[in-house]
Structure 1
């Protein structure tokens, strides 16, 4: 398949709410394969459609491949049905904001519903890092990036670090 270019912030497409896919998942198979190739090559653990210019509500993720076996997941038209009332703060990076990590507070678990690559409707509780990754990618589908989850002061610092580029 192919490794696609990843859009970098502040590309306006990263701030755009994506369109639902609906029932037609068959035409997405090549895009999904390309998104996995792109994510693994980056190397990342998740990649959303808008990060590669596909303005549709889908993302791919694999939270285990860096530690061992691959466990690829495709979520089309995902939604959160339930979430932990407790927030847990954890470090997040983003392939569209390379070189920047930030502490983001998110629910520790979520119950997700989505359509998989075969067109089957799925529902599952995700915990820990899988929940964090899915929420991060879902943010992309809603036109949000990591910066949008930060306090104004933390955002200003992170944006400044990003704009200055890597330390030499």
Structure 2
């Protein structure tokens, strides 16, 4: 998910990891459901570090593993909620257990579909359950922009891109814009 707020340098903090290329729409890895993580080891920790480095280098609010070419169920995030509280973390084997509340339509973009954003409907609240990099259970609840981010990243892991939730004229406009980019 792309983000244009918050200075990149402020968000980096103690950076570890190596930025990886973002896979763009048209790459089959983005349209394939990801496999569950079964091995919790140093390579998984490196992947998470690399995903954070990539997210910060690309000025994103979240990155799913398949966006860096890895077909595993994992994502990272760094974004604010509707109370302007910052949330930073990762979820392994996430399950979107709730997406409820008001249906909000707001501009949304994606690092895998660079340069484009469209009014996208998302629920005002989202809850994701999974585990952390050590296999410990986590439950993440978000509202506002953070809820949007959680829904967006979970969608990626199912082989979806945000344009899949668009409909009507907005979807037609998005598809024309993507064709114009040659994707």
Q: What's the TM-score once normalised by structure 2's chain length?
A: 0.81
Q: In structure 1, how many angstroms separate the alpha carbons of the residues matched to 2:85 and 2:166?
A: 33
- 2:6 maps to what in 1? none
**Which residue of the other structure, out of 103, 111, 122, is the alignment partner of 2:138?**
122
User: In structure 2, do the counterparts of structure 1 residues 72 and 85 end up closer, same or farther at CA, with 3 Å as the change threshold?
Assistant: closer
- 1:99 maps to what in 2? 115
Task: Please state if 1:157 is matched with 2:183.
Answer: no
- Mapping of residues 14-163 of structure 1, within 5 Å: 14-22=30-38, 24-26=39-41, 27-64=43-80, 71-163=87-179
Q: In structure 2, how many angstroms separate the alpha carbons of the residues matched to 1:88 and 1:69?
A: 19
Give the 3-state SS of the residue equivalent to 1:108 in structure 2. strand
Number of residue pairs matched by the alignment:
161
Q: CA deviation at 1:70?
A: 7.0
**Which residue of the other structure, out of 24, 29, 39, is the alignment partner of 1:13?**
29
- 1:58/1:141 contact within 8 Å kept: yes
- 2:74/2:91 contact within 8 Å kept: yes
Q: What's the TM-score once normalised by structure 1's chain length?
A: 0.88
Q: In structure 1, how many angstroms separate the alpha carbons of the residues matched to 2:24 and 2:126?
A: 28
- 2:9 maps to what in 1? none
Q: In structure 1, how many angstroms separate the alpha carbons of the residues matched to 2:137 and 2:27?
A: 32
User: In structure 2, do the counterparts of structure 1 residues 20 and 9 end up closer, same or farther at CA, with 3 Å as the change threshold?
Assistant: same
What 5-or-longer segments of structure 2 have no aligned partner?
1-16
Q: CA deviation at 1:147?
A: 1.4
Q: Which runs of 4+ in 1 moved over 4 A?
A: 68-71
- 1:62/1:73 contact within 8 Å kept: yes
Q: In structure 1, how many angstroms separate the alpha carbons of the residues matched to 2:164 and 2:87?
A: 29
Q: In structure 1, how many angstroms separate the alpha carbons of the residues matched to 2:98 and 2:137?
A: 17
- 2:119/2:170 contact within 8 Å kept: no
Q: CA deviation at 1:127?
A: 1.0
